[in-house]
Amino acid sequence: MTDFVGDSSEAVNHPAPHPSRTMRLAFFSRLDPGYLVAAVLPLIGIIPTFGDGVIKSADAPLHVHRIFAMTSLLQTGNLWPRWVPWFHLGYGYPVFNFYPPGVFHLGGILGLLGIPIPLAFTLVSALAWMLGSVGTYALARRFLPGYGALLAAMLWAYAPSRLYEIWHQGSLPQMMSAAFVPWVFWGLATAARFPTRRSLLAVGLPLAGMVLTHQPVTLVAGLFIAPAALLLPVLYGWRDRKTLPRRLAAVFGGLILGAGLAAIFLLPMAAELRYIQAAEDAPDVIPYLISNFLQPGELFSQPAPMDLTDLRFELPTTFGLLNGVLGALGLLALVRQRRYTVAALLALALAFNTLMLLEISLPLWERIPFLAQLRFPARLLRVGAVFIALAGGASLLLLPVRWRLVGLGAALALALVSALPLVYPNQRFVNWENLSALDEIRMETVEHNWGTTSYDEFNPIWGEKPGWDPAVEPEEYITDPLRIVVNRLDMIRQWPELQVEQIDSSSVRVTVASARPVRFRQFYFPGWTATLNGQPVEVYPETELGQITIDVPEGEHIITLTYTGTAAQMLGALVTLASLGLSALLAITGRRPQSAADRKITAEDDSLPPRPAAAVLAGVVIFALVNTVYITPQTLWFRHRSPPDSPVYMQTPVHVSFGNTFELLGYTLEQTTAAPGDLLAVTLYWRAQQEIEREYRPVVQLVNLSQTAAWAASEPFFPGGGNTIGYTPDRFASDVHIMRVFQDAPPYAGRISVQMFDAATNEPLHLPDGSDRIILEPLIRIQGRGDTLPSALGYRFDETLELACAGVTRDGDRLHIRLGWLVRQPAGQDVTTFVHGLDANGQQIVQNDTPPLGADYPSSLWLPGQNLLAHHSLPWDEAIESVAVGLYTPDRRLTITQNGQPVPDNRVILPLNEDTCSP
């Protein structure tokens, strides 16, 4: 490679460039423009997230309140807050001690800079999107050329799970933690390949970032990090086994460094977990986990375009069809190029990830510690999105070299088109005027997400009651969110002579006529300290609610409460500080050795060329602008806007009013059969008939035809977490119900029952005809043959049915008859069973004629191969000696044969007290 163009005589006539200029040119020549392009790729999706506030997704409001809390606590000089005094209705909550506070710190810093909290949320979300895109590009560059790595970044940035996170779930910590996943694997590969002191930082920093932002992502990523940490050093050191110890030391040293950097959170979380409710196993964890496994058909589905009129358009949890196709092609390309190791690693990672998404993996979820507590197997999509993006990027290797840039352009366009149905907003934005602690308290009161959690899992274990009573003087939290007040009920109910004066947020002046305990409206937790008139005093929890209690002698006293932390918290902070110091030392002294291989400039051979990089960059920016100023506001491209009374995805209209409050517009039912243990899904479409001011919840069941039993049920809160307040007639809400058919459901047929209940009173809304439910028309068959019956009798009825067994037993004043039917051929019509009690002379004394299975399963619906056990009864009479049974239609009795011989009178005579159906 020459520095000049032309022959040597011309070259010597030019002055030599200054050494500093030469170094700058060399530096810029090593820059890979793909990193910049990867950072900009998410721009098309990011811009729509900036609106009036934050997207009203499931978790976004919670995290806005946490960022506000972090900002407020940082303003007091508390650099690592753990306790939020006004959370949990003013009882206080150790949320930052058990929920990684990384993104809240970042958002809190933005808040300190004067950025509005909702905007800080959106900015951190955008940062996570860009960080993950660049990380995927960096990881892909370990084994792919620039164009393949850029496609991988695109597939990650617009993966359905990423867009689901943005528009549906809104978990800011999960977004950021997922963005660190590719960086962790990049760090593992870096440390295994270049085992230097500085390479420890490549592992430790992103690992700490992941740990300090979201525990579930850390846990599921750990399922892949652990084997990668063992395999990668072995693979890189296979040809030079003397370097294996050094490679292993670099990888595991980096993991240890990451744990040390996160020790400020990890150590107290582990040491103090026993003090909160999350330490106890919740009884509903496994059933809830089972209900959230993906179905095989969901794994690689193409998301449908959004319906902007739908208040609750369900975004899919899937890898995506395009990602699946390109991923498969990429694995094939790697095999064709004989890159078997990379292909095998990606294939194994994707296979295990896919397995863990399906119910077949339940034993693993139950056996791996803490895994079942995650409740949502779809969390693994955040990790799997990295692997399938890497495989998808490799798909370009199938093309000849001269066509790969063209293939890149086509693949980027396809990825964008497949993602656009999920990019456009269908959720409302929510904002707060003068956001304060009172807004968080009001949110808890309305939505019951105590302490900004879903299950109140961080509630301290002290106290017999959870502490859900209304906050005391809540308006005071607007100006003084850190206030800790004396429990005023003590003053009213027990000690009316107790006098209290609030001095500041943490200090009160109390006057008592005699010695007594004083309780504060703040949960007890290790780390609280108190002073009485400047002297330390014991703090302990009272038994009812676990409130901080202090024994106060007679007289006037000043009590000050302070959360000073625990030994585990201080130790964790010291370990993190030491790890930060070590990281700085490694960054300064741990320069990589300049071997010939290390000096190789990737940009010289397979980096993304500058011109294609500029073209992609310009294309992204231009499309983002066109999308913002024209496509989104002026068109309905890539999405729908249904009339509020006619959803585009609704298959069957119903239009039935429930209490003049909600109209069931109709439903979509994709299946009419289900086996016991299988899932049955139905989507209902509701429209408010007036502005809704209360909360309602639907109850959907699969019931038998007589509506006397249910074989599956779904009773979730209405879309929006039970909060129907504010629903208006100009929009509708899709309502997906996924029911698991009970394991003991008989092989009958049923229908779907729909009710709507007032969530507060639990009273059903009535239909115009006075009923409390609607029965949907489609017949739902429960697949299966039923329990095998012993073939003891062998009576054939018209060669369509066989009476395989029977039993007649007496129970008090009733005679119970069991008839075991084996269906040979479809009956084709409904039949009736006659059951006659006969005396010694064969004369009829009593009778009871009914359909074999009553109204639950008419015989015209019976299917060949089914075993059906019917129950009948007769009133007992001492004269009864036997029972005669048979079948008839309105026209005739069915002909009965046994072993090919006709049976007299086409009836079967059964003796008393014999039961051939019992084993």
Q: What is the mean pLDDT of residues 140-164?
A: 95
CB-based burial label for 697 (10 Å; 0-12, 13-18, 19+): middle
The pLDDT assigned to 755 comes to 94
Cβ neighbours around 567 below 10 Å, total? 12
Phi, psi of 626 (to 5 degrees): -65, -40
Whether the CB-CB separation of 103 and 176 falls below 8 Å is answered with: yes
Q: What is the mean pLDDT of residues 489-511?
A: 80
Whether the CB-CB separation of 841 and 827 falls below 8 Å is answered with: no
Token pair for 58: 């499931």
The pLDDT assigned to 176 comes to 97
- 789: left (phi > 0), else alpha (psi -120 to 50), else beta? beta
The pLDDT assigned to 491 comes to 57
Of 579, 562, 524, 539, the closest CA to residue 267 belongs to 579
The pLDDT assigned to 570 comes to 97
Gap between the Cα atoms of 548 and 521, Å rounded: 7
pLDDT in tens, 62-82: 999 999 999 999 999 999 999
- Examine the pLDDT at 405 and tell me if it is beyond 50: yes
Gap between the Cα atoms of 110 and 154, Å rounded: 28
Higher pLDDT, 3 or 26: 26
Phi, psi of 686 (to 5 degrees): -110, 145
Whether the CB-CB separation of 719 and 311 falls below 8 Å is answered with: yes
- Examine the pLDDT at 19 and tell me if it is beyond 90: no
- Examine the pLDDT at 336 and tell me if it is beyond 80: yes
Provide the Cα torsion 192, 194, 198, 203; round to 10°: -30
**C-alpha distance across the termini of the chain, in Å:** 89
Highest mean pLDDT among 135-144, 231-240, 307-316: 135-144
- Examine the pLDDT at 16 and tell me if it is beyond 70: no
Query: Most distant CA pair in the chain: distance in Å?
Result: 134
Token pair for 513: 């006529």
Residue 721: C-alpha distances to residues 632, 682, 715, 725 (Å) = 28, 18, 12, 11
Token pair for 857: 């399963």
pLDDT band at 14 (very low <50, low <70, confident <90, very high): very low
Q: What is the mean pLDDT of residues 692-706?
A: 91
Token pair for 518: 């004083």
Task: For the chain, give the percent of residues with pLDDT over 90.
Answer: 73
The pLDDT assigned to 3 comes to 32
Alpha helices in 468-534 (DSSP H): 488-489
> What length is written for the chain?
919
Cβ neighbours around 423 below 10 Å, total? 23
Q: DSSP per residue over 322-383, as a string?
A: HHHHHHHHHHHHHHHTT-HHHHHHHHHHHHHHHHHHSGGGHHHHHHSTTGGGG--GGGGHHH
- Residue 509: its H or E element: strand 507-512
The C-alpha R_g of the chain, in whole angstroms, comes to: 35
- Examine the pLDDT at 283 and tell me if it is beyond 90: no
pLDDT band at 27 (very low <50, low <70, confident <90, very high): very low
Q: DSSP per residue over 59-127, as a string?
A: SHHHHHHHHHHHHHHHHTT-SS---BTTHHHHT-B-HHHHS--HHHHHHHHHHHTT--HHHHHHHHHHH
| Lowest-pLDDT choice from 99-103, 268-272, 493-497 | 493-497
Provide the Cα torsion 821, 824, 829, 830; round to 10°: 0
Gap between the Cα atoms of 311 and 314, Å rounded: 9
Token pair for 71: 């900002």
Token pair for 128: 């996570």
Task: For the chain, give the percent of residues with pLDDT over 70.
Answer: 93
- Chain centroid to Cα 345, Å, comes to 26
Provide the Cα torsion 39, 41, 43, 45; round to 10°: -130
pLDDT band at 505 (very low <50, low <70, confident <90, very high): very high
DSSP H helix total and E strand total for the chain: 27, 33
pLDDT in tens, 564-606: 999 999 999 999 999 999 999 999 987 654 444 444 433 335 8
Residue 187: C-alpha distances to residues 34, 130, 180, 206, 892 (Å) = 19, 18, 10, 8, 82
Residue 530: C-alpha distances to residues 82, 89, 103, 846 (Å) = 17, 22, 31, 84
Beta-carbon contacts of residue 3 (< 8 Å; ≥ 6 apart): none
Q: Helix, strand, or coil here: 292? A: coil
The pLDDT assigned to 893 comes to 93
Gap between the Cα atoms of 609 and 823, Å rounded: 71
Gap between the Cα atoms of 891 and 888, Å rounded: 8
Q: Helix, strand, or coil here: 276? A: strand
Whether the CB-CB separation of 398 and 336 falls below 8 Å is answered with: yes
The pLDDT assigned to 11 comes to 34
Q: What is the mean pLDDT of residues 897-904?
A: 92
Whether the CB-CB separation of 834 and 888 falls below 8 Å is answered with: yes
- Examine the pLDDT at 778 and tell me if it is beyond 90: yes
Q: What is the mean pLDDT of residues 195-218?
A: 96
pLDDT in tens, 259-270: 999 999 999 999
The pLDDT assigned to 785 comes to 86
Average pLDDT, the chain: 89
The pLDDT assigned to 455 comes to 85
- Examine the pLDDT at 831 and tell me if it is beyond 60: yes
Whether the CB-CB separation of 703 and 666 falls below 8 Å is answered with: no
The pLDDT assigned to 592 comes to 55
pLDDT in tens, 676-685: 988 899 999 9
The pLDDT assigned to 827 comes to 79
The pLDDT assigned to 257 comes to 97
Cβ neighbours around 6 below 10 Å, total? 10
Cβ neighbours around 301 below 10 Å, total? 17
pLDDT in tens, 364-391: 999 998 899 888 999 999 999 999 999 9
The pLDDT assigned to 716 comes to 57
Of 423, 425, 424, 426, the closest CA to residue 158 belongs to 423
Phi, psi of 241 (to 5 degrees): -70, -15
The pLDDT assigned to 892 comes to 92
Cβ neighbours around 341 below 10 Å, total? 13
pLDDT in tens, 408-448: 999 999 999 999 988 877 778 999 989 999 999 999 988 88
Whether the CB-CB separation of 559 and 552 falls below 8 Å is answered with: yes
Gap between the Cα atoms of 135 and 382, Å rounded: 14
- Examine the pLDDT at 216 and tell me if it is beyond 50: yes
Q: What HEC string does 645-683 produce?
A: CCCCCCCEEEEEEECCCEEEEEEEECCCEECCCCEEEEE
Gap between the Cα atoms of 523 and 603, Å rounded: 59
DSSP-derived letter for residue 403 is: G
Beta-carbon contacts of residue 588 (< 8 Å; ≥ 6 apart): none
Look up tokens 């595991």; give the residue. Answer: 252
What pTM was estimated for this model as a whole?
Answer: 0.88
Look up tokens 């009773």; give the residue. Answer: 715
